[in-house]
With several copies, the nearest count.
Chain A
Amino acid sequence: MRDDLTAELAPQLAVELGLKPAEYDKIVVILGRTPTVTELYMYSLMWSEHCSYKHSKKALRMFPTTGPYVLQGPGENAGVISVGDGWAVAFKMESHNHPSAIEPYQGAATGVGGIIRDIFTMGARPIANLNSLRFGTLDKARQRYLFEGSVAGIGGYGNCIGVPTVGGEVYFDAAYEGNCLINAMAIGLMREENLTSAVASGAGNLVLLIGSTTGRDGIGGASTLASQEFDEKAEDKRPSVQVGDPFEEKLLIEACLELLEAKLLVGLGDLGAAGLTSSASEMASRGEVGLDIDVSMIPAREEGMKPFEFMVSESQERMLAVVTPELLASAQAICTKWGLRSTVIGTVTDTRRFVVREGDEIVADMPADTLASDAPVYDPAMTRPAYLDEAQAFDPSTLPHPETPAGLGSALLRVLASPNVCSRAWIYRQYDQQVLLNTLERPGGDAAVIRIAGTKRAIAVSTDCNGRYCYLDPYVGAQIAFAEAARNVACAGGRPAAITDCLNFGSPEKPEVFWAFHESVRGMSDACRAFEVPVISGNVSFYNESFGSPIYPTPTVGLVGVLQDASKRMTMHFKNAGDVVVLLGETADELGGSEYLSTVHGVIAGAPPALDLEEERAIHEALLAAIEAGLVRSAHDCSEGGVAVALAECAIAGALGATVALDDDLAPASSLFSETQGRIVVTCAEADAEALTDLFVSRGVAFSVIGEVGGDRLVIEEKIDTSIEELEAAWKPTLERLVRGELQSEELHEG
């Protein structure tokens, strides 16, 4: 055993690596001696927030995680649900916020690469990507650089590996200026019987490293970064940036799926944050075995690498497989066929110890379980933030609201042109949306629809979270994130099956932040329970702070719903002149936290819209029943910008106007722009109007028949009378013009 650290030096290194003194003491107790350099590195990464979830673990137990069709809940690389006929869908969302803030293209690209590996590790072929993005306002060159770079990176990686990017969301708000959010979600499809586990078992079996060489890139990368507050000094951490190699990843997808299909592997894991240490120790833990790894066998990208560097390197595009000695040759032949390196770097043992050696010299030797399972678990302090009372008490009716058609019309154009509402085509035009030929509905609608080839079924998917609502009320905001995702999926004709989440927050060591985190998890859990939808995977990203203040709480939901009959899928655009327009739900005076308030009045305050989970679910069920009965021509939910924006979007998408009268007694601005939840603009053929309204009546959901599709103008009686051309001219070009620096968001706020 190499003892390269004295009892004096070891605690010092531990501190430098981010371990707390008590954590260091625990390591000494576990080992019964002073740790080696390699051991300290391995523990410090495995016990970092990113890998150990030490601050969030307890709160996450609130999530419902089971259901009759859940094949794999949280705990593996991705969750898996059965979607019928022996088909299963694996999905997960993950953050790559901090790497992207340093180098947006590579940060976002490697974020996609990482989440894709989580999917095919499970034995599933990746079939779709989504992303959830947050930036500061695009007036500053740095924000434009981050936005342009991360969109290009997501496209650059996903397009190259041949996985369509089918949806996502993006918001711009000063709260994210020093800490952008890049959350990537991936979905895979497999036969149920191919479900694989990242497990090592069978003493004497071999550990095979497949894929790229190992370099110093990313040493202390994602995991250290993701666990430290982010400040201006972050730029010093540059050399740890990893460059993605999507070509290698594409080969890995094909080779790994072929290896699994041929049943040549005992287990398969990907190398993500904390590299080999994390994947090897987790595989050993799951299999209740030991491992003996020789770093001198690992193909190095650079000369003179130290054992700890091999163990913690985050070089991308690498997989770890366990194979029996008899099948090794066949397994390696498949790797070679795909042009991939594969190297035996160690063996499985029955000692339950994780031994690392460099040739004959042992450099680390610890109980394998302790890396993955013995990390400390904390109960962070919580305090309700002081700003909430004042913010929630704000009464939007005290503002001067427009009342004339001219004033309301110009407000509508401004809201449509807002970066948070405008067309996202500039983004998704850079993404291959169709490769694999299963994309039935491309980005641009409420949810993307992907068919399960060979069946009649499809899945509908959406990612959602309004951080502003969460800032104003994290409990309700998180519920709304879920409700909106479910509503988007319902508008496409899908029934929610399960969600993944990515919980983006500031430092959990700040009681206000942790309170918001806890409330969000509680809110999301309650929403999931009300809809009987489990959480099957997810990711927590803490320490999203810049210049001392946390981002908005941003608990993003990625929801997958199922359509039993893909041909019954629904879209949002107005279809035919003469169709009847129905508004499901009832508008309340809820301008708090709205896009209108922010865009037209520059105010981010008030109580966010209320949410009644039972009512919300009843509305989705009613809509789905109507869609399944063939009574619906289009459906689009009201989100940012309220019913006025929803109607405008239906009209622009269909190049067809409408004349409607809103039947509420609210002030005009509230009537148009209130963001009351649970509302959906539905159209139907005139002949079906009675059947549709009967159905809604029988289900006991609130609705009003508001008008008729037709013409080339959007007319909302007494309030709006604007041509579609003008609506589109406001809505369409914003992102491109902002990116080019041709437009300042100030101009968008002026009438």
Chain B
Amino acid sequence: MARYEIFVTYKQGIFDPPGATAERALANLGYDEIESVKIGKYIRVEVADGPNERARVAEMCDKLLANPVIEEYRIVDAEGAVSAR
């Protein structure tokens, strides 16, 4: 069994409503040092070992876990090897 971590974030230039709201809320709470907050998704998948494992995880991201119109993602495996889109 293998484990992958996936980080989904909005593409450059796409407005991030939860991030923007958190930014404002933190400033209101007195955290004047805040310059920016971006909120994305952190996904952990466990898959049975198999051929093309990593490519298939990327496919899952393309199809379902991320929306390529607005989001990009980065996949990190247990050894720390990274792929991104």
User: Are A and B subunits of one complex?
Assistant: yes
B14 to A241, Cβ gap below 8 A?
A: yes
A238 to B69, Cβ gap below 8 A?
A: yes
B17 to A239, Cβ gap below 8 A?
A: no
| Mask: chain B, 33-58; 1 = CB below 8 Å from A; 0 = not | 00000000000000000000000000
B17 to A302, Cβ gap below 8 A?
A: no
B62 at the A/B interface (Cβ < 8 Å)? no
B15 at the A/B interface (Cβ < 8 Å)? yes
A102 at the A/B interface (Cβ < 8 Å)? yes
**Cα of A143 to Cα of B24 in the assembled complex, Å:** 20
B13 to A243, Cβ gap below 8 A?
A: no
**Cα of A245 to Cα of B16 in the assembled complex, Å:** 9
B83 at the A/B interface (Cβ < 8 Å)? no
B68 to A, closest residue via Cβ: A238
B69 to A217, Cβ gap below 8 A?
A: no
A242 to B, closest residue via Cβ: B15
The minimal Cβ–Cβ distance linking B64 to chain A, given in whole angstroms, is: 10
**Cα of A212 to Cα of B28 in the assembled complex, Å:** 18
A238 to B70, Cβ gap below 8 A?
A: yes
We find that the number of chain A residues with CB closer than 8 angstroms to chain B is 23
We find that the number of chain B residues with CB closer than 8 angstroms to chain A is 15
A302 to B13, Cβ gap below 8 A?
A: yes
B67 to A217, Cβ gap below 8 A?
A: no
The minimal Cβ–Cβ distance linking B25 to chain A, given in whole angstroms, is: 10
The minimal Cβ–Cβ distance linking A441 to chain B, given in whole angstroms, is: 32
B69 to A102, Cβ gap below 8 A?
A: yes
Number of A-B contacts (CB under 8 A): 42
B21 to A215, Cβ gap below 8 A?
A: no
B28 to A, closest residue via Cβ: A741
A217 to B17, Cβ gap below 8 A?
A: no
B11 at the A/B interface (Cβ < 8 Å)? yes
**Cα of A244 to Cα of B17 in the assembled complex, Å:** 8
Set of chain A residues within 8 Å of B24, measured between Cβ atoms: 339
- Other-chain contact of B14, A212, A217, A247, A339 (Cβ < 8 Å): A217
| Mask: chain A, 229-268; 1 = CB below 8 Å from B; 0 = not | 0000001001101111101100000000000000000000
| Mask: chain A, 203-214; 1 = CB below 8 Å from B; 0 = not | 000000000100
B15 to A247, Cβ gap below 8 A?
A: no
The B-contacting residues of A in range 605-632, CB under 8 angstroms, are none
The minimal Cβ–Cβ distance linking B12 to chain A, given in whole angstroms, is: 8
A294 at the A/B interface (Cβ < 8 Å)? no
| Mask: chain B, 6-34; 1 = CB below 8 Å from A; 0 = not | 00001101111100110010001000000
B21 to A243, Cβ gap below 8 A?
A: no
**Cα of A216 to Cα of B24 in the assembled complex, Å:** 21
A106-B70 CB under 8 A given contacts A217-B13, A315-B15: yes
Set of chain B residues within 8 Å of A315, measured between Cβ atoms: 15
A58 at the A/B interface (Cβ < 8 Å)? no
Set of chain B residues within 8 Å of A241, measured between Cβ atoms: 14, 69-70
A315 to B, closest residue via Cβ: B15
- Other-chain contact of A103, B15, B20, B28, B67 (Cβ < 8 Å): B67
A243 to B17, Cβ gap below 8 A?
A: yes
A245 to B, closest residue via Cβ: B17
22 A–B contacts from the bound complex (CB under 8 Å): A102-B69, A103-B69, A103-B70, A215-B15, A217-B13, A217-B14, A217-B15, A238-B68, A238-B70, A239-B11, A239-B13, A239-B14, A241-B69, A242-B15, A243-B14, A243-B70, A245-B15, A245-B17, A247-B17, A247-B21, A248-B17, A316-B15
- Not counting A215-B13, A239-B13, a sample of 20 additional A-B residue pairs whose C-beta atoms are within 8 angstroms of each other reads A102-B69, A103-B67, A212-B15, A217-B14, A235-B69, A238-B69, A239-B11, A239-B14, A241-B69, A243-B10, A243-B15, A243-B16, A243-B70, A245-B17, A245-B20, A247-B17, A302-B13, A316-B15, A339-B24, A741-B28
